[in-house]
Chains A and B, each alone.
Chain A
Amino acid sequence: MTSKIFSTLLLASSSFLFAQGPNSLGVTPPSEVALKRGVPTPAKIKLKLPPGLHCNTNTPSDEYLIPLKLSFAPTNGLESTGVTYPKGKDETYSFSKKPLNVYSGEFELQASLKAGADAPVGPQVFNGKLRYQACNDTMCFAPKTIDVKIPVVVSN
């Protein structure tokens, strides 16, 4: 029960991101991830860009472009063993002669989370950082780094 309330509060705080600025990337983390100590477990993170905006994929087409990147610092016995990024779409814009590999609309990342032997049993939050940089067809917005809070429940 406590962990459900905890998860609901976290989701409510995450969805607040939808209302921030024209280039806000909406983040919906999983409501709760059950982690068995030592077992890597996938966690799906849904992302949504407002209409008309795109952001670079994790492997952008140009060395100067800023990739979307989700990272987790190991903490309290929790770690991420990798993030899987979806394939982007090759889109052409008025400002670029060659197509750019981008995300737009809704897309989903998958982080592999693992609780170590020293992770405390019970609910906690694993904090990630998501960096991205969004543009539309005529302008770009400053790169942003936002929090991604994933509620987890660790068991033996």
Chain B
Amino acid sequence: MRAVTLHLKTLSALALVAALAGCARNPASVEAASTVKSESTRKAAPDFTLKDADGKMVKLSDYKGKVVLLNFWATWCGPCKIEIPWFKEFETNYKSKGFAVLGVAMDDEGWEAVRPYIQQQQVNYRVLMGTEPVGALYGGVESLPTTFLIDRQGRIAATHIGLVSKSVYVNDLKDLFDAPAGK
């Protein structure tokens, strides 16, 4: 419980700093560099079970062995919508490398709001309906987008709060794909 509280406080502080800095930041101009943490500092990604758009229960731990891009988003979040085409592209291009995108929608209105949007955008990756407890497991997720890159061992390798450039994701994922499996 204490660890979760500390994690939440850390993420809230990061969100505040990013919020204050964000107005002057253009994602197109952000320098692309891998932000992947060293393996020794990675922590286990909290497991959860959430429903997908077909009503199927999906567990994060089912994805162990794959690199996972776990993206918290909402239909009302403008910056989140910039990333969706990138994630669709990643899902297509990197699937063969053992990769999956999981979108966790945080809309209060649930599937009523989310389903039409993902159909309209032809989202090709799995979208799950988020809950507050799952958000709390990941630090409260007070701002969107918030994205976690999870390595093949189920550990959080990188965290991105707010919109970052596509090349940051590309470089992070490259690092994770290049890492020897089974470590």
Contact = CB atoms under 8 A, between A and B. Distances in A.
B117 A52 contact: no
A138 B142 contact: no
B121 to A, nearest CB: 11
Contact of B162 (A133, A138, A142): A138
B18 A143 contact: no
A96 interface: yes
Interface stretch (B23-31, B39-47, B168-176): B23-31
A143 to B, nearest CB: 7
B81 to A, nearest CB: 7
B76 A65 contact: yes
Contacts of B113: 64
Given A95-B27, A136-B23, A142 B106 contact: yes
A19 interface: no
B16 interface: yes
Contacts of A122: none
B8 interface: no
Given A22-B19, A22-B20, A139 B76 contact: no
A95 B79 contact: yes
- Centre residue among B23, B161, B164 by max chain A CB count within 10 A: B23
Interface in B67-103: 74-82
Contact of B80 (A21, A22, A65, A140): A140
B15 A22 contact: yes
Interface SS of chain A: loop
Interface residues of A, number: 24
A139 B81 contact: no
A90 to B, nearest CB: 14
Nearest to A66: B76
A110 to B, nearest CB: 26
B79 A135 contact: yes
A53 B162 CA distance: 13
Interface string A116-142: 000000000000000001011111111
Interface in B12-63: 15-16, 18-20, 22-28
Interface string A5-35: 0000000000000000111000000000000
Contacts of B82: 95
A52 B78 contact: no
Contacts of B76: 64-66, 133, 140, 143
A148 interface: no
Contact of A140 (B20, B77, B164): B77
A93 B22 contact: no
Contacts of B19: 22-23, 52-53, 136, 139, 141
Nearest to A142: B142
A2 interface: no
Interface of B: 15-16, 18-20, 22-28, 74-82, 106, 108, 113, 117, 142-145, 161-164
22 contacts: A21-B142, A22-B19, A52-B19, A64-B117, A65-B76, A66-B76, A94-B163, A95-B79, A96-B78, A100-B78, A137-B26, A138-B22, A138-B25, A138-B27, A139-B15, A139-B22, A139-B77, A140-B78, A140-B79, A140-B80, A141-B142, A141-B143
